[in-house]
Amino acid sequence: MSKYQQMMDRKSIIMKNALKLDYDKFELEGIGFDYEMMMSDSGYSLDDVIKIQESFSVGKTPLIELKHLSSFARKYAKEGYGARIFIKDEAQNISGSFKARRAAMAIHQAKKLGYKGVIAATSGNYGAAVAALAAKVGLKCIIVQECFDSKGIGQPEIIEKARACEAYGAEVIQLSVGPELFYEFLRLLEETKYFNASLYSPYGIMGIETLGAEIATECLEKYGKYPEVVICTNAGGGNLTGTARGLLKSGANKTKIIAASVDLTGLHMASDHDFNRKSFTTGHTGFGIPFTTFPDRSDVPRSAGRPLRYLDEYVLVNQGSVFYITEALAILEGMERGPAGNTALAAAFSIAKTMKKDEIIVVQETEYTGAGKHMNAQISFAKDQGIKILFGNPLDEIPGKNIIFPKTGKDLIHKTLDLMDLRQSYLKRYKDMTLSKHDYEYLALELKTDIKHIKIWMEDINETTK
């Protein structure tokens, strides 16, 4: 048996020891597990999380109305339309992104349980957040990062994030794209006995609940109502899940939750060839779709990020539109921010044109930008990889071959995914299984629907696979 297989055979016990969280007690008979019990078993209330984050100087970021960008959208909307666009400026958190909210809970828990250090497998803002807050409390930190293709070429955004992690004192282990990331992550957890600062633990999700709660509370206090729409950049699903849970806990149960991802259809995230043919390292369909339809593919036995439980709509924007809105935000609002939050902002700009003028749409996060994360660096890198830069219809963009900028704000448009297709994709792993009443009840909660529809979809799946 290979070392890799031996490691995979031990992964459950390694992950359990690295979190000291017994996932087995949340498992139900059949396919389900008690999600709410898993979330509440941590013992932290929303007020507890707020206090913990305050101790790390995290949270309570400003909610800013983008008046000029809203006016720009109204130029292309019919009379009486063009919603008020707001943005939650999470770039003002320590480490420069909303990921500091998740990291605060992970670091607090690691310190509480007596771990000497933390490990996170991430090439994104979360690594910088974990490194920064670990430094704040004197914990050692290791960040494992997919960084290069087989030629040793790394994207400028990923290199920038590695630099940020190292600036906070973390050890950064950089790997080429492929299956060795998870193996190396498990090996380090086993050897160091450090805490698994997973994005997908209950602690990581409840850290985002405060973000949703702040949006709901501030909108109600300042504008006399909850927002009509909150839009979240979606990758692994934790951002949307935590934000939605916070909104619901604060009474915003009629607010529409929209996921937004960059459309990288056709590019495989584990492909050495495709790795550097994309200009976005997160918030894209390469993560967003797989984690939506199979959330438990993560680094914990059961992911606390369950986007299909909460989302009402899933939209895609192209790479060129995100670059376009990045420049518009800087020019019209004097805010230079990175690509992750601007993915949702591009979608919000398009959607706002279809909403009434007095309605509110909130983009729930921004991120810091820097030399490697800046759009100029990303576009230059794309050109070096042979990607053509064009102006035209964003929906004609072919990921890995070109990047198409909209000519005007009128041309910045999104496309909507069919949630039924996503739900059926989720259900395919249960084809030809005999499901119990409890299984159907669990699936109805997972997919934000009813048992009747689950049964119809399962019949369709079983029929088409005969």
| pLDDT given at position 5 | 87
| pLDDT given at position 322 | 98
- Mean pLDDT highest for which of 2-11, 177-186, 297-306, 360-369? 360-369
- pLDDT, one tens digit per residue, over 417-431 is 999 999 999 999 999
Please give the average per-residue pLDDT across 239-252, as a whole number: 98
Helix residue ranges, H only, 317-417: 319-333, 339-352, 375-384
| pLDDT given at position 155 | 86
- As a whole number, the mean pLDDT across the chain is 94
Q: Is the pLDDT of residue 465 over 70?
A: no
CATH 3.40.640.10 at 58-93+205-416, yes or no: no
Q: How many CB atoms lie within 10 A of CB 34?
A: 15
Q: In whole angstroms, what is the distance from residue 119 CA to residue 401 CA?
A: 36
For residues 4 and 81, the model is more confident at 81
The residue ranges of every structural domain in the chain are 3-47+97-202, 58-93+205-416, 419-464
Please give the average per-residue pLDDT across 49-75, as a whole number: 98
- % of the chain beyond a pLDDT of 90: 83
Q: Is the pLDDT of residue 466 over 70?
A: no
pTM of the model: 0.96
Q: In whole angstroms, what is the distance from residue 362 CA to residue 352 CA?
A: 10
Q: Is the pLDDT of residue 331 over 90?
A: yes
- pLDDT, one tens digit per residue, over 191-204 is 999 999 999 999 99
β-bridge mates for residue 388, sequence order? 402
* CATH architecture for residues 3-47+97-202: 3-Layer(aba) Sandwich (3.40)
SS3 call for 15: helix
Please give the average per-residue pLDDT across 234-243, as a whole number: 97
What's the number of CA atoms in the CB half-sphere (13 Å) around residue 161?
31
Report, in angstroms and rounded to the nearest whole number, the Rg of the chain calculated over CA atoms.
21
SS3 call for 404: strand
pLDDT band at 371 (very low <50, low <70, confident <90, very high): confident
Instruction: Pull the structure tokens for residue 384.
Output: 């070096």
Check for a shared fold between 3-47+97-202 and 58-93+205-416.
yes
Please give the average per-residue pLDDT across 81-109, as a whole number: 97
Q: Is the pLDDT of residue 9 over 90?
A: no
| pLDDT given at position 463 | 82
| Closest by CA position to 50, among listed 225, 227, 246, 200 | 246
Please give the average per-residue pLDDT across 37-55, as a whole number: 95
Please give the average per-residue pLDDT across 216-242, as a whole number: 97
- pLDDT, one tens digit per residue, over 448-462 is 999 999 999 999 998
Q: In what order do the strands lie in the sheet with 313-317?
A: 63-65, 84-88, 360-363, 229-233, 256-262, 313-317, 415-416
What DSSP assignment string belongs to 178-242? STHHHHHHHHHHHHH--EE--TTSHHHHHHHHHHHHHHHHHHHHHHSS--SEEEEE-SSSHHHHH
